[in-house]
Structure 1
Amino acid sequence: MAEHCPIARGFREENVIRPLVTLLSFDLSMDDPKLKFGKQSIHSIVHKEMEMKNLYNTRLVSSSSSFHYSEGSSKGGTNRKDRENEKPEVKIGLKISCAEALWMLAKESVPNSKRITDTKGLLCLAKLVETEEGELQYNCLMTITEITAAAESNADLRRAIFKTNSPAAKAVVDQLLRVIKDSDNPRLSVAAVRAIGSLARTFPARETRVIGPLVEQLSHRNQDVAIEAAISLGKFACPDNFLCVEHSKSIIEFRGVPPIMRLLRGNERAQLHGLILVCYLAIHAGKSDDLERAGVLNAFEGVERAIIAQHHKLRELIPQAIYHLSVFHQSHSGMLAQRPFLAPLILG
Structure 2
Amino acid sequence: MSLIIASQLEADFNRSLARHPSNPILIDVADDEPWSAASEADILLVRPSPAWRQPVSPRPDIWPGRLKWVYSASAGIDFYPDWLLDAPLVTCGRGVASEEIADYVIAAIYAYAKNLEGVTARSRAQWVPVPLGRVSGTTIGIIGLGAIGTAVARRGVALGAQVVAVRRSGVQTGIAGVQLVADLETLMAEADHIVVAVPATPHTRHLVNDGLLARVKPGTHLINVARGSVIDQDALIRSLDAGQLGFATLDVTEPEPLPEGHALYSHPRVRLTPHISSNHMLVRHRLLEKIQDDLSRFVRGESPSDVVDRARGY
Greater fraction helix: 1
Higher relative contact order (CA 8 A, sep 6+): 2
| TM-score of the pair, normalised by structure 2 | 0.29
| TM-score of the pair, normalised by structure 1 | 0.27
